[in-house]
Amino acid sequence: MIFRAAWLACTIAMPGAALGQDLDKLTAEELVPLAVKEGSVTVFSLSSRIARVEAAFEAAYPGIDLIGVDMSSVKQIARVEAEQQAGVHAVDVLYLADTPVVYDKLLAAGRISNYVPPRMAGELEDRFKEPLLIHRLSTKVLMYNEAAYPDGAPVSNLWQLTKPEWKGKVLMVDPSQRGELLDLLTEIALHPDEMAEAYKAEFGKDIEVDSDLQGAGEQYVRDLFENDLILVANSDVVNKAVGDKTAKNPPVGFTTYSDRRDNEKEGWALQVANDVVPANGILFPAVLAIADNAPHPAAARLLIDFMFGDDSPSGGPAFEPFNVPGDYATRKTITDDPDSVPLEKLNAWTIDAARTAAARSRISDLIIALQ
């Protein structure tokens, strides 16, 4: 184990000079003795897979207790804001998405800071290092049941989901609870020309947009809700309903492509609808950041370094929880899961955080009215 060897080496020779250095410039080996002295590190994580990272990290660095808290991005943002306003600084690392809000409410407000491990500086493209460090690219895309539909997705055009045959048969986690789903609907609204073209391809005529809406994308959002879009509390509900192998006429749903990793364990048959036009959903960044006044600053940096994995094609135990179909590593040395649709062939829109942020409130208001 590379990480365990590093821990043992550093506990034998603790570089006291490191105490006076800029933590951002220290290597993982130099951070270890400082992190061991701190004793623990707390991370809020958008993914429950943080439990596997916790086990791997503590095996590599047995002198440091990793406290991983599974928490949605929306809840992370709200909690950090509330705690810091109250003068509480309890979390060290945030692992979250919802970047249109994160960049504004947390980064611009000084509630978090960016940290790029020195060994990653030359391995990541610049776009993955600023304004926050991007660990991987994740998705919210249309998924279907490949057991029920062995010949491919039952829809080929997003507009088909607004037809009577799909009434009450499309699921999504409530976008007021998961910011990534609000980003998905906002992204659809931000592609009016493509949505208009897809409408004409499906219905053979030009779309007529309601006078209070701005473009075909917003019309799609309204039509989807009015076709009894089902909003649920969490992705497990979507995945079970959509992916259940025993289902005879299952619905489809917008969910996370990487949840396909649980097909065998859960008895699901989730698959991405990659050929749907104009796109099957969104690709978005999962970012890592250090909380302001983190109580364990050295351990925080060590954890972020650790989560980028070792030099093996899978990234080793630190990254393997995320090396699954539908997740895409930003680190060049890590090979994507062979069951994944190659990133360059994934038919998803990549969100632009600034553009999405500017349009989000309008789409949020539209959704509230539709609910």
Average pLDDT of each block of 10 consecutive residues along the chain (371 residues)? 43 39 92 98 97 98 97 96 98 96 96 98 96 97 98 98 98 93 97 98 98 98 98 96 96 97 96 98 98 98 98 96 95 94 96 94 96 87
* Identity of the amino acid at 196: A
Locate the domains of the chain by residue range. Answer: 2-137+284-341, 138-283+346-370
CB atoms within 10 A of CB 316: 20
Beta-carbon count within 10 A of 58 CB? 13
Provide the 3-class DSSP secondary structure of residue 309.
coil
User: Residue 177: what pLDDT?
Assistant: 87
Quote the pTM value. 0.88
pLDDT at position 288, please?
98
Tokens, residue 106? 């947390």
Please tell me the CATH code under which domain 138-283+346-370 is placed: 3.40.190.10
For residue 45, give the amino acid letter. Answer: S
In this structure, what token pair is assigned to residue 150? 């062995």
Cα distance between residue 110 and residue 94, in whole Å: 14
Fold annotation for 2-137+284-341 = D-Maltodextrin-Binding Protein; domain 2 (3.40.190)
Q: How far apart are CA 238 and CA 251, in angstroms?
A: 9
**Per-residue model confidence (pLDDT) at position 11:** 41
C-alpha 265: how far from chain center:
22
pLDDT at residue 8, rounded to an integer: 42
Identical fold between 2-137+284-341 and 138-283+346-370? yes
Q: How many helices (H) and strands (E) does the chain have?
A: 13, 12
Other beta carbons less than 10 A from residue 65's beta carbon: 16
Amino acid identity for residue 244 in this structure: D
- What local confidence, expressed as pLDDT, does residue 106 receive? 98
The amino acid at residue 156 is S
